[in-house]
Chains A and B, each alone.
Chain A
């Protein structure tokens, strides 16, 4: 699993994940992801290139969102409507972390 970080306008940090966000993938990205969550305030987690998500991956997202929230920041998820989005919704994540289907919507949510 890969993780890449881009600084967007408005102080937004886009964290793009790529590959299988399963137990194996989550172990790889957990530490770098938590580090970004600790350092940044407005984070967009782009799951567009994630083709699989399991509960360990969900846990990593939740922990990251909690870190950001405790620092007074915001974390949103960018995810198209696919099986990964279905996992997020089934796990009740949409009630805990805002999920957007387009980068424009995610950016607007972080800007407000």
Chain B
């Protein structure tokens, strides 16, 4: 069975460097391994890779001290991912979002829900992932 502790959260801060995507992937895998189904783990890894890669590649000028904070929280049977950065406005929920459009399309398809907010000069993206109705046996 999947471990059923109710609320657990973890936070990771990344720099504006493509090499950080590897650290992100390892961190997500560590968090989701015992807490979600393999399908949800895959979806979380895909959506966060796309979102963070977009921020790293398009979110700031060359010398900006861009900081990206990623938070994962398991809430009951579901998982919530929050990404916050101080780069330029990037709203993947916009219909006309064109930057990295395959990636944005994948995020919309693999996440159960997605909200964006621009506040105090920061992008705040929230992604939700729902476990399938019947959790797979381990």
Query: What chain A residues lie within 8 Å of B109 (beta carbons)?
Result: 90
Query: What is the CA–CA distance of A52 and B47 in the complex, to the nearest angstrom?
Result: 12
CB distance from B12 to the nearest CB of A (A): 16
A52 touches B105 (CB 8 A): no
Residues in A lying within 8 Å of B, measured CB to CB = 20, 22-24, 27, 52, 54-56, 58-59, 83, 87, 90-91
Tell me which of A24, A52, A91 contacts B106 (CB under 8 A). Answer: A91
A-B contact count (CB 8 A): 45
Task: Count B interface residues, CB 8 Å.
Answer: 20
B60 shortest CB reach to chain A, Å:
17
Residues of A within 8 A of B115 (CB): none
Query: Which residues on the B side are within 8 Å of A55 (C-beta)?
Result: 50, 53, 100, 102-103, 106
Q: Provide the bound-state CA to CA distance between A34 and B53, in Å.
A: 22
In the complex, identify which listed stretch (B38-46, B61-69, B72-80) lies at the interface while the others stay far away.
B38-46
20 other A-B residue contacts (CB within 8 Å) besides A22-B25, A55-B50? A22-B49, A23-B49, A24-B22, A27-B18, A52-B25, A52-B42, A52-B46, A54-B49, A54-B103, A54-B106, A55-B53, A55-B100, A55-B102, A55-B103, A55-B106, A56-B53, A83-B42, A90-B109, A90-B110, A91-B102
Q: Does B21 contact A (CB under 8 A)?
A: yes
**Cβ–Cβ < 8 Å partners of A52 in chain B:** 25, 42, 45-46
CA distance A76 to B69 in the complex (A): 39
Q: Which residues of A are found within 8 Å of B42, using beta-carbon distances?
A: 52, 83
Docked pose: A66 CA to B31 CA in angstroms: 38
- A54→B25 CA distance, assembly (Å): 12
In the complex, chain A residues whose CB is within 8 Å of the CB of B103: 54-55
Q: Is the CB of B50 within 8 A of A24?
A: no
**Closest chain B CB from A98 CB (angstroms):** 19
Could you tell me the distance in whole angstroms from the C-beta of B68 to the nearest C-beta in chain A? 14
Within the complex, the shortest CB–CB distance from B104 to chain A, in Å, comes to 9
Check A24–B18 contact: CB distance below 8 A: yes
Nearest neighbor of A22 in chain B, beta-carbon distance: B49
Q: Interface digits, B16-27 against A, CB 8 Å rule (1 contact, 0 not)?
A: 001101100100
Q: Is the CB of B18 within 8 A of A23?
A: yes
Residues on A with beta carbons closer than 8 Å to the beta carbon of B19: 24
9 CB contacts below 8 A, A to B, read A23-B53, A27-B18, A52-B42, A54-B46, A54-B106, A55-B100, A55-B103, A56-B53, A58-B102
